[in-house]
Chain A
Amino acid sequence: MGGDDAAAESATTERNAANEVNINIRCSNGSKFSVQIGLDSTVRSFKEAVAHNCDISSDQQRLIYKGRILKDDQPLQSYGLEADHTVHLVRGFSPSNTTGGTNSGGGGGGNTTTANTRGAGANEGGGLGGPGFGASPFPGLGGNNGMGGGGLNGLFGAGFPDLEQMQQPFLSNPNLMRDIMNTPAMQNLINNPDIVRNLIMNNPQMQELMDRNPELAHILNDPSTLRQTLEATRNPEIMREMMRNTDRAMSNIESSPEGFNMLRRMYENVQEPFLNATTMAGNTGNDAAAVRNQSTNPSTTNSEATSPVPNTNPLPNPWSSTGTGGGGQTNTRRSTTTGGDARQPAPTGLGGLGLPDLEGMMGGMPDTAMLTQLMQNPAISQMMQSILSNPQTMNQILGVNNEQRGMPDLNSLREVMQNPEFLRLFSSPETLQQLLSFQQTLLSQLGQQQSAQEPGQTGGGTGPLNNMGLEMLSSMFGGLGAGSLAVPNRSNEPPEQLYATQLSQLQEMGFFDTQENIRALIATSGNVHAAVERLLGNPGQ
């Protein structure tokens, strides 16, 4: 039995290790050979030994013995394998897996190079977009230079609850999501699934991904899939049900024979490229960024002409409506200080100043709960990134031409989000498990809002290792969350009293229409800079 080479190899091995036994391998094409291995070895090492005798790599082998598919992490003796028994060998799937892996690796390298180049652009973009962007995240970053370590800890301690609270309005308040969906822009998106398909098809990486995975292309081109996705965004109940189904299905598969390998193959072949495709969209937008930078200069000039008097009043406190009593007082003081500091560094670019101070925070091991919460950011941030990197995509979604209103902010936001730490995080082999925990955490948040907030606060004081970019985004998302929360919380007070300070600022700038100013402030949650942009962008309103 077996060829001459196999026999010679078998004889040689027998002399060296007497405790190993002879196992016969039968391929699906009919050929047979023998392998020497100890029965206490794992199936994984057995596959590697088998790979020496045939042209199937170990990760493509499917071994069947007595009607069972052997799992990689099980020892051979657990299946009752003994000397001179026969195992059937089948090739698991096509060799395209190797090509996919190579592409993923190359893509990662490209991301690193491009991200370094974009790092310089981030400063420029930050400077241009600083006055127009929501001021809450940047004062925090600018103020880092003037604060000690304790201040930083306190600042980021306040950031995590905001991160939690950013998601709660959308997940636990169906009315808020429904109101958003009822806007004309969203109705236009829902009534025309082709827009979503165009969003997906415009991405070159997505095209390449679908060429390699016809199965994925079939799913994405299916109109019912697109409609189901859009319905899920409209109805949070459907979203929760969909996530529950996914979690249940993955648990069932993992517990079945070969199930974990199937999940890992599916992740390596489909899901990781899928995530990379949306993340790497920034590369294609690199050239457009230069054009956008030029186009933002006139907007800046117009803004300066319209605002001859510099804003000397403190900026609105983004955490006042969400912090507790004691925390509120602390945040109030720091916010005032950072407000003053933010104006000086603005011309030189705010985005890059915070990084050196952030490094001092690194230390200690992040706990599981905090790491899980951090993983919630990339899923949203990479989607925002793919939207922001394509101006046409923004126009399609909003249904209006927002070039004058949103362009400076888009540049700034896009540059900040394209941080190399995110790309490294996406390429982590542990992402599959973290994705599962991400879904579970999201589900637990729905039922237990109170307990969901405490882990964030507990972990706030400890910065995770090699997550500088995530810290920046946490601060940014904190500002976004506070802005979102302000809408339902402040609806009880009359706008004239709630925005008295902002109204006086607008009148000093030359906007004398009180009703128009009140509408702009309500739409922007009391942000003076955003209100100014809104008033300038929509003269007719």
Chain B
Amino acid sequence: MTLGSSGSSVVVPRNFRLLEELEKGEKGIGDGTVSYGMDDGDDIYMRSWTGTIIGPYNTVHEGRIYQLKLFCDKDYPEKPPSVRFHSRINMTCVNHETGVVESKKFGLLANWQQRFTMEDILTQLKKEMAASHNRKLVQPPEVGAYVMFLNVNVILSLWIWGSHIIQFWY
């Protein structure tokens, strides 16, 4: 399937482009801090992708593993894919409620070019985490901490209930 593009002399079909990116994701070419692959290997249109970013060092994101979803519609790579964070994160270019990366605030999506790849998106997001306006933002607690918070409350409540039983009995 060939997509028309008057600005390019050589047009790479969408599926071949995505297959190249899939191959690169499987081989792990890169610096090792971003990873991506297809959600469903049987999807012939190869639209839904999963990515991870390891938080850069010397930032509040250090040690965290962020999961993202990238959706490449039929018009990719002419149009950028939609990017959404599955992990909770506090960044200037990410919507707090939905986790969607807003194209107006993320330069790579706002100035999309056909030669950009999903790896470029993930790598640029990682650089954005290390930028001065994002590296020190207070991050929401990881989900485990939230559950620990609830569990501590339950245990403390049971503790106080136990003391009430003692007091009531005596």
Closest residue of chain B to A166, judged by CB? B165
Out of B29, B51, B152, which one reaches A274, CB within 8 Å? B152
Asked if B154 lies at the interface with its beta carbon under 8 angstroms from chain A, I say yes
Does B52 sit within 8 A of A, measured CB to CB? Answer: yes
> A266 contacts B162, CB within 8 Å?
no
Which chain B residues (117-169) contact chain A, with CB distance < 8 Å?
141, 143-169
Count class of interface residues, chain A? 35 or more
A residues 120-154 near B (Cβ < 8 Å) are 134
B37 lies within 8 A of chain A by Cβ: yes
Type the 1/0 row for A80-118, where 1 means its CB is closer than 8 Å to any CB of B. Answer: 101011111010010000000000000000000000000
| Also in contact, A64 and B155, with CB within 8 A (given A28-B33, A249-B147, A484-B168) | no
A24 within 8 A of B: yes
Q: How far is the CA of A405 from the CA of B26 in the complex (A)?
A: 73
Q: Are B150 and A215 interface neighbours, CB within 8 A? A: no
Task: Give the distance to chain B from A133, nearest Cβ to Cβ, in Å.
Answer: 10
In the bound complex, do residue A229 and residue B157 qualify as a contact, i.e. CB atoms below 8 Å apart? Answer: yes
Instruction: Say if the beta carbon of A62 comes within 8 Å of chain B.
Output: yes
Chain B residues contacting A216 (CB-CB under 8 Å) are: 148, 152
Query: Is B144 within 8 A of A85, CB to CB?
Result: no
Interchain CB contact under 8 A, B65 and A62: yes
A205 within 8 A of B: no
In the assembled complex, A185 has its CB within 8 A of some CB on chain B = yes
Q: A67-B37, A216-B148, A263-B144 are in contact. Are A387 and B155 (CB under 8 A)?
A: no
Cross-chain contact A480 with B35 (CB below 8 angstroms): no
Chain B residues in 8 Å Cβ range of A295: none
| Contacts of A379-397 to chain B: CB distance below 8 A | 379-381, 383-384, 386-388, 394, 397
Residue of B54, B143, B149, B170 with most partner-chain A CB within 10 A: B170
Q: A30-B31, A230-B160 are in contact. Are A68 and B167 (CB under 8 A)?
A: no
The reply to whether A85 and B153 contact each other, CB–CB distance below 8 Å, is no
Q: Beyond A67-B50, A85-B27, is A480–B154 a contact (Cβ under 8 Å)?
A: no
Q: Is B107's CB within 8 Å of the partner chain A?
A: no
Chain B residues lying within 8 Å of A196, measured Cβ to Cβ, are 156, 160
Whether B152 pairs with A219 at a CB distance below 8 angstroms is yes
Residues of A with C-beta under 8 A to B67: 67, 69, 257
Contact A266 B154 (CB under 8 A): no
CB nearest neighbor in B for A435: B151
A80: B residues at CB distance < 8 A = 26, 37, 41
The complex places the Cα of A439 from the Cα of B151 at a distance, in Å, of 11
CB pair B65 A93 closer than 8 Å: no
Q: Which of A258-295 contact B (CB under 8 A)?
A: 259, 262-263, 265-266, 270-271, 274-275, 278
Partner of A384, one of B33, B68, B153, B162: B162
Cβ B161 vs Cβ A233 within 8 A = yes
Cβ of A343 within 8 Å of any chain B Cβ, yes or no, is: no
The size class of the interface chain B forms with chain A is 35 or more
Contacts of B27 in A (CB 8 A): 24, 84-86
Does B35 lie within 8 Å of A387, measured CB to CB?
no
Whose C-beta in chain A lies nearest to the C-beta of B155? Answer: A274
Shortest CB–CB separation between residue A24 and chain B, in angstroms? 7
Q: Nearest Cβ distance between residue B75 and chain A, in whole angstroms?
A: 22
Q: A66 contacts B65, CB within 8 Å?
A: no
**A271:B148 contact, CB within 8 angstroms:** yes
The stretch of A238-246, A296-304, A322-330 that contacts the partner chain? A238-246
Known contacts A27-B32, A380-B161; decide if A85 and B26 are in contact (CB<8 Å): yes
Partner of B148 from the list A64, A232, A270 (CB cut-off 8 Å) is A270
**Is the beta-carbon distance between A28 and B32 smaller than 8 angstroms?**
yes
Interface of chain A, main secondary structure: helix
When C-beta atoms are compared, the residue in chain A nearest to B161 turns out to be A233
* Distance between Cα atoms of A439 and B65 in the complex (Å): 30
What B residues does A402 contact at CB under 8 A?
A: 170
CB proximity to B under 8 Å, residues A214-253:
215-216, 219-220, 225-226, 228-230, 232-233, 239, 242-243, 245-246, 249-250, 253
Which chain B residues border A170 with CB–CB below 8 Å? 161, 164-165
Residue of B29, B156, B161, B169 touching A480 (CB-CB under 8 A)? B169
Would you call B36 and A66 a contact (CB within 8 A)?
yes
Produce 1/0 per residue, A163-183, CB < 8 A to B.
000000010000001001101
Most chain A CB neighbours (cut-off 10 Å) among B29, B37, B145, B157: B157
Q: A93-B63, A257-B67, A263-B147 in contact; A387/B166 too (CB < 8 A)?
A: yes
Contact with A along B65-105 (1 / 0, CB 8 A): 10110000000000000000000000000000000000000
Pairwise interchain contact A384-B28, C-beta atoms closer than 8 A: no
Cβ contacts under 8 Å, A228 to chain B: 153
B144 touches A253 (CB 8 A): yes
User: Could you tell me the distance in whole angstroms from the C-beta of B169 to the nearest C-beta in chain A?
Assistant: 6
A384 CA / B169 CA spacing, docked (Å): 12
In the bound assembly, the distance between CA atoms of A134 and B29 in angstroms comes to: 73
- In the complex, A245 Cα to B146 Cα: how many Å? 10
CB neighbours (8 Å) of A183 from chain B are 167
Q: Is B38 interfacial (CB 8 A cutoff)?
A: yes
Q: A278 contacts which of B28, B29, B37, B159 (Cβ < 8 Å)?
A: B159
* B147:A246 contact, CB within 8 angstroms: yes
Q: A67 to B49, Cβ gap below 8 A?
A: yes
Q: A253-B143, A530-B170 are in contact. List 16 more A-B contacts (CB 8 A).
A: A66-B37, A69-B65, A82-B26, A88-B33, A88-B54, A180-B164, A219-B148, A228-B153, A266-B144, A266-B148, A380-B162, A383-B163, A384-B166, A387-B162, A394-B166, A483-B169
Q: Which 3 A-B pairs have the closest CB atoms?
A: A66-B37, A86-B28, A67-B50
20 contacts between A and B (CB under 8 A): A67-B37, A86-B27, A88-B35, A90-B54, A186-B167, A215-B141, A219-B152, A220-B152, A229-B153, A233-B161, A242-B154, A249-B143, A249-B150, A253-B147, A263-B147, A265-B144, A266-B144, A383-B161, A383-B163, A384-B165
B residues with a Cβ closer than 8 A to A are 25-29, 31-33, 35-38, 41, 49-52, 54, 63, 65, 67-68, 141, 143-170
